[in-house]
Amino acid sequence: MARTTNDGIWDWNLSTNKIEWNVRARTMLRSASVSVTEAPRSFLAHIHPEDQSAVREAFRKTITNHAPIQCEFRVVGSNGHQIWVYLAGDCIRDTSTGAVRIIGSLTDITEKKSNEARIIHMAYYDALTGLPNRLLFQERLRKAMADREQDGGKMAIFLIDLDRFKIVNDTLGHQVGDMLLVRVAEMLKACVGDENTIARLGGDEFIVMFPSIESEDELSEVADRVLLKLSEPVVLEGTKFYLSASIGASLYPSHGADSETLIKFADLAMYQSKRSGGNRLGYYTENLGVQQVERVNMESGLRLALERGEFVLHYQPQISLATGEIYGAEALIRWQLPSGKFVQPGEFIPLAEETGLIIPIGEWVLDKACKACKQWIAEGMDSPVVSVNISSQQFQQGDFPELVRQVLRNTGIQPRNLCLEITEHMAVLNMEHTIQVLNELVDIGVRIAIDDFGIGQSSLVLLKRLPLHVLKIDPSFIFHMTDNGSDEAIVRGIIEMSHGLGLAVTAEGVETEAQLIRLQQLGCDRIQGYYTGRPMPSEQFIGYFQSLISAGTSRWRI
């Protein structure tokens, strides 16, 4: 009766109600702290409570229906340790009295069951975070939707995508990125609650199912907890990270009647949140479907725009308040469609960042701006400075300083003619990497400006640690500074603080003579804005410069 030489053998005499066990069977059971006697109860009592009815039924069928016994079940020892066994057997009958004995084998299948459990876990759970994966999530989602269809209730899902996570992988490697994803999974579990399912779809995308909700207020509360939790600094490998996420929500049954549609609509809502600046929750609306079509069309056009030469640069003059003369200009990209219509940067730059197209576009901008500066010098400008905005993805490229060197060599301008502008958020995203790259750029000789100062996460400590030359005050503070004492106080404080740190100050968004005069009185170094000049093509900028020279006066010196 043994299935293999390692099987245990048992023989149950039904007339005496005693079981004989061979040595192998006793040894096998003893490994689980189970000691058996001839009494059947000594074995049956150790069968896992959840399996007992199935085992009893298997024995009943072999006696009454002549069915062979084949069953798997757990045996639990006195110390709580358990093993899985496979029990096989058959009934021996007497023609006159019927069943007289049941003889069979016992096999330890604990390892087999463990392997099966691992395979099932691999199929249904994410290997990195231990969260359910897409397959298990969809199964649970379909079941929850079926339950809500029965009871008429509502449910919802979140699709969560980390903002700018790609930068972490590009700068510190996937190992640190994976560590950060594990930490994020822990944060999300703490915010979402055990009654809801959170899964990892892949990359830095997570999805949450709320199987039953009463109102959207519940979802807003969870989203607030998630965003607040993610805003807490995370320290890994000695580096501090500041995270944020874009969250999209869709509701059942109002937004979709099947799981695929519900996930798709949550995805659309998430992308809308990301395009709106990230770090927020957005709900699906029918209008997002139309926007998605427009987005796909824009992405297709964006991929061909460089090849077709549809990008142009305009330059906004920067004026020195000390001399009233042109200091330089900031390069601003525009996308001119074949129809002649201009697409503003706010419409296509976020898409370029999402798709990675910002890298080749940024390289083109840097090269084109430096070539324009070379032309300005040839036309008689005395060491103008062209300022170029650098995207976070560009900045995180490992070879970015070398790219700057190459552009300077190819265009022939001096490093002092180039100013690279980074944002506050970009600076704090990975401080150690930021400091390293900026030091390399400063060694090259280019100037560094921090843009939109005052609306991000900057602090005195940040300004002290970063090798900067210029601080640009965000236009929101300039707009009301002449009629709002608080804004003027902020502008004054920024100027005094910057000068104390050895930084020059540029005020953006200057639109009136009153703003110019007040900034000059406060000691601001440079200004740019519609009052002194709108963004213009390079040829027009040259004419603008020449007109100031012809006038023979410092027009902007009050």
Residues 61 and 14 in one domain: yes
CATH code for position 218: 3.30.70.270
Identify whether residues 317 and 278 lie together within a single domain: no
Rounded to the nearest angstrom, the gap between the alpha carbon of residue 126 and the centroid of all alpha carbons in its chain is 16
Amino acid letter, 452: D
Burial class (CB in 10 A: 0-12, 13-18, 19+), 15: exposed
Distance CA 280, CA 457 (A): 17
Residue range 305-358, pLDDT digits in tens: 988 999 999 999 999 999 888 999 999 999 998 888 888 888 888 888 878 899
**Does residue 98 share a domain with residue 159?**
no
Of 252, 134, 246, nearest to 199 (Cα)? 134
**Does residue 468 sit in the same domain as residue 358?**
yes
- Asked if residue 548 is part of any domain, the answer here is no
Residue 1's pLDDT is 40
Q: What is the pLDDT of residue 4?
A: 46
The packing angle between helices 259-275 and 345-355, to 10°, is 120
Same domain membership, residue 139 and residue 100:
no
Same domain, 93 and 133: no
DSSP H/E element including 101: strand 98-108
Is 544 within a domain? no
Indicate whether 123 belongs to any domain.
no
Q: Does residue 253 have a cis peptide bond before it, meaning omega lies within 30 degrees of 0? A: yes
Distance, CA of 414 to chain centre: 39
- 2 located within any domain: no
Same domain? 174 vs 74: no
pLDDT at 433 (0 to 100): 83
Pair type for strands 470-473 and 504-508: parallel
| pLDDT at 461 (0 to 100) | 61
Helix, coil or strand: residue 360? helix
Render pLDDT for 126-149 as a digit per residue (tens, 0 to 9).
Answer: 889 999 998 899 999 999 999 999
Could you tell me if residue 482 is inside a domain?
yes
**To 5 degrees, how large is the angle CA 312–CA 317–CA 320?**
155
Report, as ranges of residue numbers, the positions in the chain whose pLDDT lies below 70. Answer: 1-5, 96-97, 170-171, 289-294, 296, 454-461, 552-558
β-sheet bridge partners, residue 236: 239
* Number of domain units in the chain: 3
Q: Are residues 272 and 336 both part of a single domain?
A: no
Q: Which of 84, 115, 146 is the last residue of a domain?
A: 115
Domain edge (last residue) among 253, 284, 315: 284
Contacts of 46 (CB under 8 A, 6+ apart): 29, 32, 34, 75, 76, 77
The answer for 191, left when phi > 0, alpha when psi is -120 to 50, beta otherwise, is alpha
Q: Quick one: pLDDT at residue 194?
A: 86
Q: Which residues is 314 bridged to in the sheet? A: 332
292 domain residue, yes or no = no
Indicate if 147 and 100 belong to the same structural domain.
Answer: no
Secondary structure (3-state) at 10: strand
Q: Do 266 and 160 fall within a single domain?
A: yes
The last residue of one of the domains, among 115, 142, 158, is: 115
> Minimal CA–CA distance to 207: which of 179, 174, 249, 178?
249
The CATH number assigned to the domain holding 504 equals 3.20.20.450
DSSP state of 15: T
Report residue 303 as tokens.
């991929």
**Shared domain check, 310 and 253:** no
User: Is residue 557 in some structural domain?
Assistant: no
The parent domain of residue 430 ranges over 300-537
| pTM, entire model | 0.57
pLDDT of residue 259: 87
Same-domain status, 435 and 501: yes
> Looking at the domain assignment, is residue 554 inside a domain?
no
